[in-house]
Structures are given as C-alpha cells and as structure tokens.
Amino acid sequence: MPTLLLGVSGGIAAYKSADLTSLLRKRGWEVRVVMTPAATQFVTPLTLQTLSRQKVHLDPFDLPADSGVAHIDLVKGLDLAAVVPATANLMAKVAHGIADDLLTTTLLALRCPLILAPAMNSAMWEHPATQANLRLLESHGVSLIPPASGELACGDIGIGKLADVEEIANRIEALHQKRLHANRLHGRRVLITAGGTREPLDPVRYLGNRSSGKMGHALAAAAAMRGAEVTLITTASLPVPPGVGAVPVATAQEMLEAVQKHLPGADLLVMAAAVADYRPARVASQKIKKSDEALTIALEPTPDILATLRPLRRPDQLIVGFAAETDSLIPHAQRKLERKGLDFIVANDVSRPGIGFESDENAVTVLGNDGVVANWEVASKQAIAERLLDLFADRLP
C-alpha cells in the first residue's frame, strides 16, 4: 500500500482535504494526516482521523508511544508528501526552511518528493513574495498543482481556488507511478527516430510530410525518465529532452545511416519517424526556375530502413515500428509488422482529427506477432509514450 503524508494548512479549502483523504483511501493509499493549528479551525481532526482511519498528528510535543521523535517517525516509509491546501504562509515557510510547528518540521525532514496544492486569495497569490517563493520551491524540486480561477471564498473572482480534488489525487498517483518506473530501463540503450524526412528537390525545396517529431521526442523523454541511455535520431527542431543524445538528420538516407550506426549497441529501437517512401530521382544543383510549362518530377524509392535491419538485428533486440494509416488501420499495420520483421507495430489512424501528425495527442493500437497487445484511446503523446515504454520494458529480455 503506497503511503502519503497529507499536510493540511489553515485556509478555507482545508475542508476539501477530507474528500481527498477519502478518495485516496479508496484508491488504496495509506494517508497519514498532519495538520497545522490553524487548519483545525476549518476542519476537525476527528473528521480526518475517521476518514484516514488513523491518528491525526497536530502537536510536535505529543510523545510517540515508543520513545521516538514525532516528526522523524512520521516521515519513515513515506512514498510521497502533499500539502493540500498550502497557504501562502506555509509555502513561505517551506521555501525558507522554517520549522515552527509539527507540519513544517516534518516537511523539513522529508526524504520523499513533496507536492503543494496552493489555495489563497488572488492578491496573495500574485504578490511578488509568493511568486518568488514559488520559484524557490520549484528550484528545490517541489511539485506544484496550480490553483484554479473562479469565485473565491472572500467573494472575489480570480485565481486562487484549490485545484479540483480529483485532479490532485491524479497528480499524486501520476508522480508515484513515475517514481516507481524511474529505473525500469536503467542500463538499457534505446534508439528512437522522430520527425518527417526531407528529400531535396533543389537547394531550396524538399518533399516532406506533416510529422512534427512530437511523438518521437515524447518517446525519447519517457525512455530517459526510465533511466535508459537514449539516442534520438531526429529531423525535428523541437527541444531535445534532458539526458537524451540527439543525432540530427534530414533525409531517409541520412536516417538509415544513423540507425545502422547506432543499432548494434541498442536494446530497443522505436521508429516513430515518418520516413519518405520516395525521393526525387535527381536533385537539381540550382534552384528550379519557374516557367509556364507543367513540371514533372521523377521519384525513386528510398531505402526501407526497418526492412534493411531485418538481417542485421540480434534476437535479443526489440524492434518497434509505427504505422500511420488513413484506412484499414489494423490489416495494413499487420502487413507492415510482418513485412518488416518487427516485434511490435504501433498503429495510429492519421485521418482522425486531433491525433497523429502535429497534434499533442494520439490514440494507438499496439500489435505484436500474436495480435493486439494494447489499445489506448486519446491521450497526450507523453502519456502514450510512457505506456509504450512500460510495455516495451516488460518485453525486453
């Protein structure tokens, strides 16, 4: 059972900590509640004690049964800590290491990640001191769940409402999952391709496609977060995720050479790039001049990168392709899986609005040699990348 230290500080939103405690208990968490004295004015310790099914902690001088030290005992065995709501005063104290009650003393002794969900009046939230404290907290690695806008308890309209309780519970669980998976690919080498290739026609023009590289870059970030050594062969000018080594390329031929160079050391290759199937048979050395005549451009096939790897790959390597289809998604993807000799293919329907090329979201079906392995409806490319990397991590020998 994962264990959360739930700090409650003294603002009107403190009553929502009761809902959060109840929701997290239902989702299988042990919730250890520590309240500031001011918080007890807004919600009773008895409420939180009943919902958390354990003693609520308030007093730094309340002696533990076994001669321990209260705030040190409280942090033992924790997976995460969260303060909901976090007042401006609580944030200021945590930012500056002030420990003058049981909650702030306990937070100073934490060895696990801390999440703060602030709630306060807009003027307090926007005050330069609060904003400076926020930046300081983030620089200390504290995660923040920003407040929402709406009508505040004082009647003002503006930013400062506590974020939705369900969203807070989801963020707590997501951070926990991220930590659990942090080292799943430690010691593994992962090769990812991203973006659309550009096949030159002349010195200023190229044949390209709509791939932005977002899917491939999200996969590289997810692999790096899981501790892998990641090489990202990319045509995109997106930021390179932290900890990832990038190899910039432009054409299918350059991508082929880079993949062939890096494949021998890799445990996993994921080809998310949209590689051109054809390129101009001849590249003009000067800019092609405009004329009134129709222009015909002869195209020749590019090398099929995945197919060329078939005889080169080791049996202990996992090779994954993507299939971008506009019709008959599964049959077409299935044929590509077989023809290219892949372990998995990730099929996405690029004719659906809002997913696939360029968008921030995707929806995919993963096929293996025994059929459909997973089917994930619309989610952010980050979320899809995380699930894919977990799936591949499980299948690596």
Question: Which residues does the annotation mark as catalytic?
Answer: 154
Q: Tally Cβ neighbours within 10 Å of residue 148.
A: 13
State which residue, 151 or 358, has the beta carbon closest to ligand PMT.
358
Provide the minimum distance between the beta carbon of 166 and ligand PMT in the complex, in angstroms, as a whole number.
29
| Residue among 51 and 384 whose Cβ is closer to ligand PMT | 384
- Is the CB of 93 or the CB of 313 nearer to ligand PMT? 313
- Provide CB contacts within 8 A for 328, sequence distance 6+: none
CB of residue 202 vs ligand PMT: minimum separation in angstroms? 22
Nearest to 105 by CA among 155, 60, 69, 170: 60
Rounded to whole angstroms, how far apart are CA atoms 351 and 176? 35
Q: Would strands 268-271 and 318-325 be described as parallel, antiparallel, or unpaired? A: parallel
DSSP run (H or E) holding 39 = none
15/357 with CB nearer ligand PMT? 357
* Minimum CB distance to ligand PMT, residue 372 (Å): 17
d(CA 383, CA 11): 33
The nearer residue to ligand PMT, 166 or 277, going by C-beta atoms, is 277
Short-list 178, 215, 122, 209, CA closest to 390: 178
CA distance readout (Å), 186 to 190, 226, 229, 313, 314: 10, 7, 8, 22, 20
Write the burial class of residue 342 (CB in 10 Å: 0-12 exposed, 13-18 middle, 19+ buried). buried
Query: C-beta of 297: minimal distance to ligand PMT in Å?
Result: 18
Task: List residues binding ligand PMT (CB under 6 A).
Answer: 195, 211-215, 252, 271-275, 277, 302, 304-306, 321-324, 336, 348, 350, 356-358
Distances (CA, A) of 21 to 10, 53, 113: 16, 10, 18
